[in-house]
Amino acid sequence: MARIYVASSWRNPHQPNIVDVLRRNGHEVYDFRNPPHSTGFGWSQIGLELPVSAVDYRNALLTHPRAAQGFMSDFSAMRASDTCLLVLPCGRSAHLELGWMAGAGKRTIILTQDGEEPELMALLADKICVDLDEVLVELNKGEAVKAIASAATALASQFSTLGQTASLAISNDRQRDEKNGRFDDVLVSVVGSIFPLFLKERMMRFFKANPNRQLTKAAFELALFYSLRQHWPDVTKTKSVEWLMHFIEIDFGEEGFDWSYSSAEKIAGEYAEAFAEKAA
């Protein structure tokens, strides 16, 4: 779930529907038209009607309590959000909001449409989308990384027991020869009878909650790799994936996983940075 600040215009007829769709997709959305515990800010609330002089505008903006209240409501929501969605067409305030959130390191997305005037500085945004479906896909990408990092963190703590057990067994044989496979043989013998069942149960549970095979694979690869690394600092992602592939030689039925060695290592590499940040 993302915490989204929708930056747009009172005159944009699409804004209410976009807020509704985002919420129905499980996201927490700030609606500037209907903020919590208040009503949306309007210039008429501080006695300004167009046309207005620059002096009157400045005085009202800097001194009227309703202007301060409206600003703090929106700005607090900007700080609390992790994502800004700029919905075009919109005016200067919405673009200021997107710019601030980009500078604050938050995820920024622009939703544009045919007929909008091109803007070079839109390149500040992380993504430019041309329809709401693209926005939802982009939001889900971020949620997938969070899901992987969260799942891998929890799984790594469970796998750590596995690593401790295997580490004790291997430490009893100082003469082990990794080149001849003894290191692998001992590890497999220690956990081979129970780990496949443990792994399958955890994997299928995660897969049901996150029905994406690639993401499920990535979460488990990272979990095993980082838990093993606690005990063997020189372990590589390649070796970790190799062990994982060995352990899961079990029947997943119709929900089976085509575990490709090269693709597994690629996926683990892609998500390693996200997991490391979460673990830290």
The pLDDT tens digits for 102-160 are 999 889 999 999 999 999 999 999 899 999 999 998 888 766 555 555 555 555 555 54
Burial (CB < 10 A; 0-12, 13-18, 19+), residue 201, is exposed
Asked if pLDDT for residue 177 goes beyond 70, the answer is no
Could you identify the residue written with the tokens 């129970």?
Answer: 194
Task: Answer yes or no: do 7 and 118 share one domain.
Answer: yes
pLDDT at 195 over 80: no
pLDDT range class, residue 28, cuts 50, 70, 90: very high
Last residue of a domain, one of 100, 130, 160: 130
Q: Phi then psi for 178, rounded to 5 degrees?
A: -65, -30
- Give the structural domain span for 234: 144-279
CA distance 10 to 135: 21
What are the contacts of 32-36 at 24+ separation with CB within 8 A?
Answer: 32/6, 32/7, 32/8, 32/74, 32/77, 35/73, 35/74, 35/77
pLDDT of 250 strictly over 50: no
- Residue 37 confidence (pLDDT): 78
Distance CA 188, CA 160 (A): 15
Would you say residue 83 has pLDDT above 60?
yes
131: alpha, beta or left? (left if phi > 0; alpha if psi -120 to 50)? beta
Domain identity same for 126 and 73:
yes
Mean pLDDT for the chain overall? 71
- Percent pLDDT > 70 in the chain is 50
Q: Are residues 148 and 264 in the same domain?
A: yes
Q: Is residue 10 part of a domain?
A: yes
The tokens describing 239, both together, are 């070796």
> In terms of domains, do 206 and 242 share one?
yes
Higher per-residue pLDDT: 230 or 50: 50
CA angle 258, 264, 267 (to 5 degrees): 125
**DSSP 8-state code for residue 118:** P
SS3 11: coil
- 277's tokens: 């940040």
Average pLDDT over every residue of 216-233: 60
In a domain, 136, yes or no: no
Tell whether 265 is covered by a domain.
yes
**How much of the chain, in percent, has pLDDT values that exceed 90?**
32
The domain total for the chain is: 2
**125 shares a domain with 151:** no
Strand partners for 83: 4, 107
The verdict on 118 and 169 lying in the same domain is no
Q: Which residue has the higher pLDDT, 181 or 1?
A: 1
Question: What contacts 15, CB < 8 A, 6 or more positions away?
Answer: 6, 8, 9, 33, 87
